[in-house]
Chains A and B, each alone.
Chain A
Amino acid sequence: MKKLVYAIAFILLWNACKINSSDNKALPIFGNKEAVTKTVNGKQVTDTLYQTIPAFKFVNQYGDTITDKSLDGKIYVADFFFTTCPNICPVMHRNMLPVYNEFKSHADFRIISHTIDPKYDTVPVLKKYADKMGISGNTWWLLHGQKNDTYTIAKSYLVSLQEKNPQGQYVHDGYFILIDKQKRIRGTYQGTDAKEVEKMTTDIKTLMAEPDQKPTK
């Protein structure tokens, strides 16, 4: 009898925990925010304005122009790399592959990888890289652009890039940045850490389930 009571208590507790964990279903919003007071219909309304990714224009591995408009209504992950990177990039993209495979059938999901070495990583070089990685279609774009533009956009993703160091190597963060449909930063993950990238996959699913991130039909 006592055992039965314990068993029931355990099941109740376990379920309670489960409900709690599934209740907590919204990702935080990162970046600077400011309060804006507007007058709507004669009433004072205070709104929080979150940092968003500004307008940009790059070219993908197919030679197509990609702007911020191309990512309207998309949830996307951004990172920075270069094809001849000897240290962290292979790990980052090894870890990104499962993410690509998991979400490539979602029309409202994208991955964008900015090259930080536009001189070497021309559009044909990026296409070749994509082919060798086994990525096709429009889920994962490798973006080429002016160095200044790439370095400027990196700042709005809170990623730090540096010019070549004396050894001729680029120094850059290996972060994956998760952006929502309102172009707000919803997560940053160390792309070289498979565990963190797994968490990103879980977070993408959580984000997709948020009311204002649902597919637009």
Chain B
Amino acid sequence: MKIKLIGIICIVLIALVISCQSDEQVEFNRYFSAGSAVYQEHCQNCHGAKGEGLQGLIPSLTDSAYLKSNKYQLACFVKNGLKGQIKISGRQFEGEMPPNDLSPVEIAQVLTYVTNSFGNRSATITTELANADLAKCN
């Protein structure tokens, strides 16, 4: 009887852990797949289907170190565009990225997609996180 009870509790606990994980996973998947669509519509022309950029004209999105160190500015880059000199994957770029008229949800989605594609890996960038970063744009 006791063993049975312990067994049931264990199963319930395991089920809880799995369902919690999958909640997070579901959220990530939703952001990621929506972000993929946003990327195709607003980013892919310039940055390429594989985030490869274009020669010395348009930077790639494969520089994980750059993405990581500018984690809290990414939302502002997408919204307001980016100008001036930047160094990506050891290469100097000086062009201009135009601003994008995207909602905070779409920015969160596309950032989740980009920071988890092309060899990059990060956590879900939720709308709350994106909004917090957007509030601090220069």
Contacts and interface: CB of A to CB of B under 8 A. Distances in A.
B44 to A, nearest CB: 8
Contacts of B48: 94
Contacts of A90: 45-46, 54, 57-58
A94 B56 contact: no
A133 B54 CA distance: 7
A11 interface: no
A93 interface: yes
Contact of B54 (A84, A87, A93, A131): A93
A85 to B, nearest CB: 9
A86 B46 contact: yes
B7 interface: no
A134 B45 contact: no
A129 B58 CA distance: 11
Interface residues of B, number: 10
Given A91-B45, A94-B48, A86 B57 contact: no
Contacts of B85: none
Interface string B32-49: 000000000000011010
A171 interface: no
Interface in B49-92: 54-58
A133 B57 contact: yes
Interface string B4-29: 00000000000000000000000000
B119 interface: no
A26 to B, nearest CB: 34
Given A90-B58, A97-B55, A133-B57, 15 more contacts: A84-B96, A86-B45, A86-B46, A86-B98, A87-B45, A88-B45, A90-B45, A90-B46, A90-B54, A90-B57, A91-B45, A94-B54, A131-B56, A132-B56, A133-B55
Interface of A: 84, 86-88, 90-91, 93-94, 97, 129, 131-134
24 contacts: A84-B96, A86-B45, A86-B46, A86-B98, A88-B45, A90-B45, A90-B46, A90-B54, A90-B57, A90-B58, A91-B45, A94-B48, A94-B54, A97-B55, A129-B57, A131-B56, A132-B55, A132-B56, A132-B57, A133-B55, A133-B56, A133-B57, A134-B55, A134-B56
Interface of B: 45-46, 48, 54-58, 96, 98
